[in-house]
């Protein structure tokens, strides 16, 4: 049989618990804040004792390439300035700036009426001189040879007549007057032979008439070549294959020798011109390989080789000019295009490397890192080797597997810290 006093006691206990729960629920946010504060306090206490968790960098073995990074622009080894060799009026400009042209392609035409007239006149002088040469060969020389033959025949006849008259005069059958006449005829015949022989000589190659005619013909040909050359100057052509990068002439302009009308960048060889900080001059040498990329096409890289180092320093910029040859330039390269270049100056395989972000005072003579010893950040001096774009070679101061705290972690020297290796 149940005791009647137990029922009221249980009811009172249940009522008390219900009131407690009801009171707690009404103050639920306060209780939540208390527990949150306790949690934060515990977390801060643990963090104060063990230090913050920091993602660290670990010394590992890897391959490292040291490069010198610089920017510059694209150039051809030389540029050709195209101008006029004569004074004239531009009749037409046949090309546009940026157009690719080939050797001997007409670029500019000048007014050429006077030049064409001069060529016609020179051609007439050549024809006249050639006619004079044919006249010597076809008429003057044959006539002179016939005259010489006739004079020689006359001389022979005069000589025979003189001989007969002389014999008759000795025998008393001819007078002195007849002998004198025969002598006179003989002298005239001899003179005629000499004159005819001279005419044959002058009309023959090497003679004065022939040399004079040949000289006039040569002069006429030379004058014709000159006028034809001047006429060819009226059409300004490309001296070689390339791309026109500058145009300073328009139709109707009067041009003169010595003024650049067009500038041609020849096809083929391309070079990169850089300005290197003089502090890196000792690291650069001829023949070093490099990788370059145009700023307009950063994802496309191409090879280059150091081909020239200026012997002088630009004192205003504290830099030295370096040129790199590009053996196989990509089609998208343009004159004066901006490029970024990584020149490979040294490389090592399987060496100790550490990210640059964890090394303090890299450019000073005493680099160091914040390492971890007994749960605290400690300073550790280093001796560095090669310097890559994102990593450094560790020669002394740290061993493989040891860790360093990045500069941007905010950890101070001597502070407790918990390393987190990624």
Query: What's the rounded Cα separation, in Å, for the pair 144 and 128?
Result: 22
Predicted pLDDT at 242: 86
For residue 76, give the nearest of 279, 251, 240 by alpha carbon: 240
Partners of residue 92 on adjacent β-strands: 109
**Which listed CATH number (3.40.50.720, 1.10.287.620, 2.60.120.560, 1.20.810.10) goes with 114-231?**
1.10.287.620
Q: Which pair of tokens denotes residue 362?
A: 């890299």
In the CATH scheme, what is the code of domain 83-111+235-262? 2.40.50.100
Predicted pLDDT at 1: 41
Predicted pLDDT at 232: 93
- Beta carbons of 350 and 330 less than 8 angstroms apart: no
- Beta carbons of 55 and 404 less than 8 angstroms apart: no
Query: Which of 174-178, 296-300, 392-396 bottoms out in mean pLDDT, i.e. has the lowest?
Result: 174-178
Q: State in Å, rounded, how far the first CA of the chain is from the last one.
A: 72
Query: Which of 22-36, 147-161, 174-188, 345-359 bottoms out in mean pLDDT, i.e. has the lowest?
Result: 22-36
Q: What is the mean pLDDT of residues 268-287?
A: 89
pLDDT surpasses 90 at 24: no
Predicted pLDDT at 252: 92
pLDDT surpasses 80 at 37: no
Query: What's the rounded Cα separation, in Å, for the pair 370 and 54?
Result: 12
CATH fold for domain 54-64+349-420: 2.40.420
Q: Give Cα separations from 65 to 62, 191, 323, 401 (angstroms).
A: 10, 102, 21, 21
Residue keyed to tokens 């007057």: 177
- Beta carbons of 393 and 62 less than 8 angstroms apart: no
Beta-sheet pairing, 403-404 with 57-58: antiparallel
Q: What is the mean pLDDT of residues 178-186?
A: 89
The residue that leads in pLDDT, 266 or 59, is 59
Q: What percent of the chain has pLDDT over 70?
A: 88
The residue that leads in pLDDT, 34 or 113, is 113
CATH architecture, range 68-76+266-347 = Beta Barrel (2.40)
**Which helix H or strand E contains 36, and what residues bound it?**
helix 28-50
For residue 385, give the nearest of 406, 361, 354 by alpha carbon: 354
Predicted pLDDT at 51: 66
Output the average pLDDT for the chain: 86
Model confidence band, residue 422 (pLDDT cutoffs 50, 70, 90)? confident
Query: What's the rounded Cα separation, in Å, for the pair 377 and 414?
Result: 5
pLDDT surpasses 60 at 47: no
**Which helix H or strand E contains 202, and what residues bound it?**
helix 176-203
Query: What's the rounded Cα separation, in Å, for the pair 216 and 209?
Result: 11
For residue 341, give the nearest of 281, 268, 292 by alpha carbon: 292
Query: Which of 24-38, 170-184, 255-269 bottoms out in mean pLDDT, i.e. has the lowest?
Result: 24-38
Predicted pLDDT at 249: 92
Residue 367: is it exposed, middle or buried by C-beta count within 10 angstroms (0-12/13-18/19+)? Answer: middle
Query: Sign of the CA dihedral 349, 350, 356, 359?
Result: negative
Query: Which of 1-5, 233-237, 353-357 bottoms out in mean pLDDT, i.e. has the lowest?
Result: 1-5
In this structure, what are the phi and psi dihedrals at residue 409, rounded to the nearest 5 degrees? -75, -20
- The pairs formed by 178-184 with CB atoms below 8 angstroms and a separation of 24 or more are 182/158
pLDDT surpasses 80 at 218: yes
Query: What's the rounded Cα separation, in Å, for the pair 422 and 416?
Result: 19
Model confidence band, residue 375 (pLDDT cutoffs 50, 70, 90)? confident
Q: What is the mean pLDDT of residues 355-371?
A: 89
Query: What's the rounded Cα separation, in Å, for the pair 213 and 220?
Result: 11
Model confidence band, residue 374 (pLDDT cutoffs 50, 70, 90)? confident
**Which helix H or strand E contains 106, and what residues bound it?**
strand 106-110
Model confidence band, residue 6 (pLDDT cutoffs 50, 70, 90)? very low
Rg (CA), the chain: 54
Model confidence band, residue 25 (pLDDT cutoffs 50, 70, 90)? low
Q: What is the mean pLDDT of residues 187-191?
A: 92
Q: Give Cα separations from 253 to 250, 263, 308 (angstroms).
A: 6, 17, 41
- C-beta neighbour count of 257 within 10 angstroms: 11
Q: What is the mean pLDDT of residues 297-303?
A: 92
pLDDT surpasses 60 at 17: no
Predicted pLDDT at 332: 87
Predicted pLDDT at 236: 94
| Domain boundaries for CATH 2.40.420.20 within the chain | 54-64+349-420
- C-beta neighbour count of 288 within 10 angstroms: 19
**CA diameter of the chain:** 221
Residue keyed to tokens 């033959």: 149
- Beta carbons of 77 and 327 less than 8 angstroms apart: no
Model confidence band, residue 103 (pLDDT cutoffs 50, 70, 90)? very high
User: CA 363, 368, 374 angle in degrees (round to 5)?
Assistant: 165
| Domain boundaries for CATH 2.40.50.100 within the chain | 83-111+235-262
For residue 67, give the nearest of 272, 294, 340, 300 by alpha carbon: 340
Model confidence band, residue 2 (pLDDT cutoffs 50, 70, 90)? very low
Model confidence band, residue 4 (pLDDT cutoffs 50, 70, 90)? very low
| Domain boundaries for CATH 2.40.30.170 within the chain | 68-76+266-347
Q: Which pair of tokens denotes residue 278?
A: 């003089």
């Amino acid at each position: 049989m149940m005791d009647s006093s137990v029922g009221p006691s249980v009811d009172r206990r249940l009522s008390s618990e219900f009131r407690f729960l009801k009171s707690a629920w009404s103050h639920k946010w306060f209780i939540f804040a208390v527990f949150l504060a306790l949690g934060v306090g515990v977390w801060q206490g643990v963090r104060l004792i063990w230090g913050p968790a920091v993602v660290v960098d670990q010394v590992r073995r890897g391959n490292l390439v040291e490069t010198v990074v610089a920017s510059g622009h694209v150039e051809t080894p030389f540029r050709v300035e195209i101008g006029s060799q004569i004074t004239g009026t531009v009749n037409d400009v046949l090309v546009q700036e940026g157009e690719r042209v080939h050797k001997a392609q007409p670029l500019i035409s000048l007014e050429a009426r006077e030049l064409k007239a001069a060529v016609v006149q020179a051609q007439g002088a050549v024809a006249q001189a050639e006619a004079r040469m044919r006249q010597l060969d076809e008429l003057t020389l044959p006539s002179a040879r016939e005259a010489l033959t006739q004079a020689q025949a006359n001389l022979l006849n005069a000589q025979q007549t003189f001989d007969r008259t002389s014999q008759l005069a000795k025998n008393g059958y001819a007078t002195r007057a007849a002998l004198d006449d025969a002598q006179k005829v003989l002298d005239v015949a001899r003179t005629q032979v000499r004159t005819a022989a001279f005419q044959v000589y002058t009309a023959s190659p090497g003679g004065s008439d022939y040399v004079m005619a040949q000289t006039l013909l040569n002069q006429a040909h030379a004058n014709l070549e000159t006028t034809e050359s001047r006429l060819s100057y009226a059409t300004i052509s490309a001296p070689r294959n390339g791309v026109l990068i500058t145009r300073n002439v328009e139709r109707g302009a009067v041009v003169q020798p010595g003024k650049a009308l067009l500038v041609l960048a020849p096809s083929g060889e391309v070079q990169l011109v850089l300005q290197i900080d003089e502090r890196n001059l000792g690291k650069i040498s001829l023949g070093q390989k490099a990788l370059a990329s145009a700023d307009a096409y950063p994802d496309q890289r191409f090879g280059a080789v150091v081909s020239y180092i200026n012997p002088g320093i630009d004192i205003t910029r504290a830099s030295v000019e370096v040129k790199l040859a590009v053996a196989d330039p990509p089609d998208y390269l343009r004159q004066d295009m901006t490029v970024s270049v990584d020149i490979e100056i040294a490389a090592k395989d399987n060496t100790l490397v550490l990210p640059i972000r964890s090394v303090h005072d890299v450019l000073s003579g005493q680099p160091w890192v914040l390492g971890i010893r007994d749960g605290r950040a400690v300073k550790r001096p280093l001796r560095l080797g090669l310097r890559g774009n994102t990593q450094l070679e560790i020669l002394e101061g740290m061993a493989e597997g040891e860790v360093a705290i990045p500069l941007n972690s905010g950890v101070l020297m001597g502070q407790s810290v918990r390393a987190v290796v990624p």
